[in-house]
Structure 1
């Protein structure tokens, strides 16, 4: 009996130990379960969701540009792209295009390397790229200044695409999908629709711009056309230009197609600047309506010869000229003397009143200021004195004087608009900003009479002598650049700036044709004039 009693107590102890052990193990499992389901439940649910779901970004349709007549200037197409294998692990990968079927399959297991983006196409190509610019993928440098952007996104890099990036971009959306263990898409769980960017109507005339680009084919130069009454820019074309879809070629091109010559190129204005010299002399009173200057062919100053273009080319003089006749014939002798009587400071002051020497304020980045020199500038910048020869050069738009085509266009527009200068603009929504320059009416009338005469028989702008499509008022310019050749000649650019009709002008056209290797000596009347004439024929021909 005693042995049985001891044996029973042993079993009780064993049962107790087993029960304690079982309870301990159960407690451990319960605590672990509590940790997994309660304390860390959200964490593991999130991990599970990441394995079950993937998110696809939905690009917002980028805003569309329209021209002044409602014609679409860009198109959007959705495209997929994937980080290349070599750069997939990089923070800043490079991408290759893939089709939608491959993209959707890749999204299920490699979503971080697959992107949905937009391809931007430009129907008018190079004709409007100086205005519209282009878009490109976000770079490391972009992210440093714009942390709200993300890898794979395309943003504006140049032109209005860059200026209006925030308005055009819109807000991206997203779509969340559920997938099975094999990575197959089961269903769409949630969609947040993207918000499209804002469309923008421009002042630009697309078909007229395309016509102008054809006229500039094979030439370096620029054409600007505007409405002098409002500052609306109708045409802003630079040549050569670039295809926004072939940027790699453009960057390597030695002809600099990505330089917007209309707003960035600076050139001596040549005889077109005589309009400023004339106004300055008239307003100062050193030249009057009946003032006569005898064309001597050449002037000798300190051992240097300053000749009239007509005398240099044909060996002929033009006798006595008044201000209107001098503008009609673009007589250098008259404007050498007018510049001498007026003084460089007053000529510079008049040029600056017409906003030369400063950016015009058009809605594009990187506009050049040009230069209107004076004696103080030369002393401080070059450490040299100003001489009478400098004044002579300035009086005919040579020396250190430089302007952009958009500046010269707006100078002409202010003359056409009765001495009221308007800020040039490309957006239809921009309110016109115009300033009365307070120019003496008699001085303005005489200058305009000279411009009308330049576009009539006996003037320098022979393409306009027939009065077609309408009577116009204009000024030609042939500006010298570079060093003299063996014959003592310098290369020349050709300018023509014209308002039409001559009474109550509605359009101002400025054409620059650069000297190039094929034609080193461009002339305002011969080379720039026909382009301006063709543009006006197109413009006014629509109204018949």
Structure 2
């Protein structure tokens, strides 16, 4: 062996000795720790997610084979929402691990912390070949709490069926005077089970659907309120002392201001006029000429004040993502946004709910509820109570109403309600609710009239209804660039008049007249409610 070879052998040997010493003396502890980590694993024990019930105790959502099961399919889609795997935004928002299941929409997201519970964990020791040997320090998971909604499953299903059968996109909102939402449906909709079951082809189809089935029209859709806004114009006129309940204005069919003409729907459609009308009759007939003049006498500033006081131009605060504020235009807004002055014609069209005025269906329902509830505003609520699954052990129940008085005089409310009741009686615009009656011998007699049913086999109960119709010009253009003459159909109502229990608001997009198209749906909702009331 040459000297060079010997030197190389000695050098390599020394390097190996030094490396071995380093491993033994300096890194031995690190390798021991790594070995222990390979033997011991911390494993997650997921908490059982809370269940969701309707107000009657009927189960709406449960868990099956580790995934969420939505028992009513699309019925509650826009309220309950759905679950899916967490992305980067969810990791930051919820503080969960990437890929874990979280609520992505609706109450599944808004109440995720309540529903999800707290995960547990266990430390397990494994053998070198991966076999479990024993467990250490197990921490049991805490199940998520159950939620009972304010919604009525029967009304919710009926509302969706009515929208589906109508053939139009739209929404139905039903509430009680305590601020509880009894039904909220938006159509088109989707089946949340496709997300929990990760049905990718169906998910892609929903995401690419041009009709936007994920969009909640009830809280996010913006529409001109049309004649439903005349309720606010009336309140502004009366409360500002600009008019009284007996103020009369002659309907001449057309109101001319300079080179501009403003007509009444009755004259435009039938060539007829209503003659001299007071406020109650103007609401009954939805007379445009009357409200043009009331708008002029009241002034846009007073109308603006009361529109915002009643909740327009701001979110209602319902516990769902995606709510729109709407828009209440005024001279300042027009100047800053459009760079134009405000004219009398702007006041005219705003007073009848057209122009740049935009509202959501839930806002119209909110305003109607305030009138029915004697001028009180109560926060909207979707969750009735929260429990931990043990019978009669209620963890949390929201009983704080936080209602407050809007300061509307009793005389004003009396006049408005009188006009709304006339609108739903002979001679009014709400013809689908004329002589509204149901068959239910369990209803209390107070304030209601029992009449002979046509069949002679049962007693029907006549229920007085107060309502307001609306037919909104869209101002939109079709695919050919032509002005769309299709109108949005509005109908908002409450019943019984003397002691209101339920408020119904219907909006159908590009469907036609409010009384003809939306009114029959409102009637069916009221019928379902009162025929099943005990």
Class of the TM-score when normalised by the shorter of the 2 chains: 0.7 to 0.9
Q: Describe the superposition over 1:239-270 as per-residue Cα deviations: whole angstroms up to 9, x where unpaired.
A: 11122233332211100111111111111000
Contact 1:482 1:491 in 2 (8 A): no
Counterpart check, 1:508 vs 2:503: yes
Counterpart check, 1:75 vs 2:70: no
Matches within 5 A, 1:136-147: 136-146=84-94
Matches within 5 A, 1:91-102: none
Shift of 1:189: 5.3
Counterpart check, 1:169 vs 2:116: yes
Shift of 1:42: 6.1
Shift of 1:188: 5.1
Secondary structure of 1:399 counterpart: coil
Partner residue in 2 for 1:223: 172
Of residues 467, 471, 474, the one that matches 2:464 is 471
Counterpart check, 1:279 vs 2:235: yes
Partner residue in 2 for 1:7: none
Partner residue in 2 for 1:65: 52
Of residues 491, 499, 506, the one that matches 1:496 is 491
Of residues 20, 40, 43, the one that matches 1:56 is 43
Shift of 1:176: 4.1
Q: Which moved more, 1:165-174 or 1:504-513?
A: 165-174
Partner residue in 2 for 1:397: 353
Matches within 5 A, 1:360-371: 360-371=316-327
Contact 1:243 1:250 in 2 (8 A): no
What is the CA–CA distance in structure 1 between the aligned matches of 2:22 and 2:262, rounded to whole Å? 101
Contact 2:81 2:104 in 1 (8 A): yes
Count matched residues.
468
Q: Which moved more, 1:137-146 or 1:293-302?
A: 137-146
Q: Describe the superposition over 1:201-246 as per-residue Cα deviations: whole angstroms up to 9, x where unpaired.
A: 2211122111111110032111111112x11111111111122233
Partner residue in 2 for 1:108: none
Q: Describe the superposition over 1:78-108 as per-residue Cα deviations: whole angstroms up to 9, x where unpaired.
A: 4xxxxxxxxxxxxxxxxxxxxxxxxxxxxxx
Counterpart check, 1:130 vs 2:130: no
Of residues 455, 458, 464, the one that matches 2:427 is 458
Contact 2:492 2:505 in 1 (8 A): yes
Shift of 1:459: 0.8
Change (3 A) 1:488 1:337: farther
Secondary structure of 2:262 counterpart: strand
Contact 1:53 1:176 in 2 (8 A): yes
Shift of 1:488: 8.1
Partner residue in 2 for 1:214: 161
What is the CA–CA distance in structure 2 between the aligned matches of 1:138 and 1:279, rounded to whole Å? 48
Partner residue in 1 for 2:455: none
Q: Describe the superposition over 1:413-441 as per-residue Cα deviations: whole angstroms up to 9, x where unpaired.
A: 01001111111111223322211011121
Secondary structure of 2:382 counterpart: coil
Contact 2:494 2:503 in 1 (8 A): yes
Secondary structure of 2:492 counterpart: strand
Secondary structure of 2:212 counterpart: coil
Partner residue in 1 for 2:8: none
Q: Which moved more, 1:521-530 or 1:497-506?
A: 521-530
Counterpart check, 1:198 vs 2:126: no
Matches within 5 A, 1:426-437: 426-428=382-384, 429-430=397-398, 431-437=400-406
Partner residue in 2 for 1:373: 329
Secondary structure of 1:73 counterpart: strand
Partner residue in 2 for 1:157: 104
Which protein shows a greater Rg?
A: 1
The alignment's TM-score, normalised by the length of structure 1, stands at 0.81
Give the CA RMSD over aligned residues.
2.5
Secondary structure of 1:495 counterpart: strand
What is the CA–CA distance in structure 1 between the aligned matches of 2:89 and 2:321, rounded to whole Å? 18
Counterpart check, 1:481 vs 2:430: no
The alignment's TM-score, normalised by the length of structure 2, stands at 0.82
Q: Describe the superposition over 1:8-37 as per-residue Cα deviations: whole angstroms up to 9, x where unpaired.
A: xxxxxxxxxxxxxxxxxxxx9xx979968x
What is the CA–CA distance in structure 2 between the aligned matches of 1:261 and 1:406, rounded to whole Å? 9
Partner residue in 2 for 1:14: none
